[in-house]
């Protein structure tokens, strides 16, 4: 079990007050807060050995290169990769998924090949494959969900065929929270000779991840959703597939040698990292991974279950005033609960919560098709992480009760679309 009060000491931002109330931060699926250790690692780099990597024999460059490369080794350990060479640093999950779609898809898909994605996909997985399908004249097919918000595996089995070349899917949904059966999907993909691509943005920060057991071909995830800095993420891929790919972004550090007539691409992972990388970000992300490994990802997962279970239990006190999206079993979810309040716009509820010091996400969560499938234009999402407490869950639910009691008045308030399209 996690010592949450001790953990909270590493996050000074949690001592802030918002509108006179102690901050309750429940927007972790969008981005997590950063512990002192991660910030200190980044500051240490900039204050002590800031230099470009792989470009100099001087001491600072050598120290920076060593720290940058060691960060790859840490992240390989975090997901139990076979080698640090399989760890490609990217800007975020979106960047990683685009790298697969354009780097692999554009060179391997043929007219009438089929790409299978799901209705529960984040736009960051759905849209790159749609764009590549347009370029290659491949076809995109969609797997539906069940009424409870789980993937319809029977339909998936019906959809795939010898034409299927890619199955790309969320390992865990950022809206309904559903944790998908990753290995089952990967095996279905391989049964027809397709590759299996996992969007790990919501999975890797919350569920112990062992790429050797999951049987996927690619996984992309973001650093900022697992205590790391923004602007950095990881694309993991099977080494044999990565070695067969040519980089689609080229330039400095992607090459071994260039003449006017030819180019020899660099070894893994550098051939996919064009230009100066986010050195500080990679060092900070490695520190975040170390922090989570010290806590134990099994404990992180169990903490999620405890908080979600309490939330779903307390929501029953709200009766039919609240509609919860996704599975009722907390063990089928990551640490989030998305919902709507009857007769109130989701942004209205989100703003009311903020006025009382509680930060949640509202909107379409970059998953519009899933919301439309569920019959909503958006939702309110409370998402937890290692520093959230049962007391915060209680305050959150009691605050919702207050908002519901003021529903008639709040329903008259104009709705501002702060972040259209998200």
State the catalytic residues.
Answer: 366
Three-class SS of residue 247? coil
CA separation for the pair 15, 21 (Å, rounded)? 10
As beta bridge partners, residue 115 has 140, 166
The CA distances from residue 226 to 97, 170, 201, 202, 287, in Å, are 18, 17, 9, 9, 11
CA separation for the pair 38, 35 (Å, rounded)? 6
CB neighbour burial string for 47-74, b if at least 16 within 10 angstroms, e if fewer:
eebebbbbeeeeeebebbbebbeebbeb
Give the phi and the psi of residue 100 in degrees, each rounded to 5: -65, -50
Nearest-CA neighbor of 46 among 288, 289, 283, 290? 283
- Are the beta carbons of 164 and 194 closer than 8 angstroms? yes
**Angle separating helix axes 93-100 and 123-136, nearest 10 degrees:** 20
- Kindly tell me the sign of the dihedral angle through the C-alpha atoms of 28, 24, 297, 309: negative
CA separation for the pair 403, 362 (Å, rounded)? 15
The CA distances from residue 32 to 4, 89, 131, 292, 417, in Å, are 15, 19, 30, 13, 23
Provide the terminal-to-terminal Cα distance of the chain, rounded to the nearest Å. 34
- Are the beta carbons of 214 and 404 closer than 8 angstroms? no
- Are the beta carbons of 114 and 108 closer than 8 angstroms? no
Per the listing, tokens 């694309």 go with: 235
Strand order in the sheet with 322-325: 322-325, 336-341, 379-383, 361-363
- Are the beta carbons of 75 and 87 closer than 8 angstroms? yes
Q: List % helix, strand, coil for the chain (3-state, nearest 5).
A: 45, 20, 40
């Amino acid at each position: 079990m996690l010592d949450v009060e001790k953990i909270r000491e590493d996050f000074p931002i949690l001592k802030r007050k918002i509108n006179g109330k102690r901050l309750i931060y429940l927007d972790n699926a969008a981005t997590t807060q950063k512990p002192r250790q991660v910030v200190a690692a980044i500051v240490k780099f900039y204050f002590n050995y800031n230099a470009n990597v792989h470009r100099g024999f001087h001491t600072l460059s050598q120290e920076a290169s060593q720290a940058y490369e060691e960060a790859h080794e840490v992240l390989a350990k975090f997901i139990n990769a076979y080698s640090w060479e399989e760890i490609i640093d990217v800007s975020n999950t979106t960047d990683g998924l685009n790298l697969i779609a354009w780097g692999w898809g554009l060179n391997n898909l043929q007219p009438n090949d089929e790409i299978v994605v799901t209705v529960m996909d984040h736009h960051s997985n759905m849209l790159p494959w749609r764009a590549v399908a347009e370029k290659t004249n491949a076809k995109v097919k969609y797997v539906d969900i069940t009424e409870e918000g789980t993937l319809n595996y029977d339909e998936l089995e019906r959809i795939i065929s010898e034409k299927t070349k890619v199955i790309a899917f969320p390992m865990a949904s950022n809206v309904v929270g559903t944790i998908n059966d990753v290995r089952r999907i990967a095996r279905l993909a391989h049964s027809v000779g397709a590759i299996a691509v996992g969007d790990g943005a919501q999975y890797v920060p919350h569920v112990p991840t062992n790429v050797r057991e999951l049987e996927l071909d690619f996984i992309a995830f973001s650093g900022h959703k697992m205590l790391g800095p923004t602007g950095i993420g990881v694309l993991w891929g099977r080494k044999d597939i990565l070695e067969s790919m040519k980089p689609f972004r080229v330039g400095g550090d992607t090459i071994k040698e260039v003449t006017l007539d030819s180019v020899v691409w660099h070894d893994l992972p550098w051939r996919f990292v064009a230009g100066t990388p986010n050195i500080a970000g990679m060092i900070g992300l490695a520190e975040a991974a170390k922090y989570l490994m010290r806590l134990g990802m099994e404990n992180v997962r169990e903490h999620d279950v405890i908080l979600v279970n309490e939330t779903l239990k307390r929501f029953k006190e709200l009766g039919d005033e609240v509609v919860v999206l996704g599975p009722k079993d907390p063990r089928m979810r990551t640490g989030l609960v998305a919902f709507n309040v009857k007769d109130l716009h989701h942004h209205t509820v989100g703003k009311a919560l903020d006025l009382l010091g509680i930060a949640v996400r509202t909107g379409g969560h970059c998953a519009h098709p899933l919301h439309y499938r569920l019959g909503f234009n958006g939702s309110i999402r409370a998402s937890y992480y290692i520093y959230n407490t049962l007391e915060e869950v209680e305050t959150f639910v009691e605050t919702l009760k207050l908002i519901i009691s003021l529903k008639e008045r709040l329903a008259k308030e104009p709705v501002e679309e702060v972040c259209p399209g998200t």
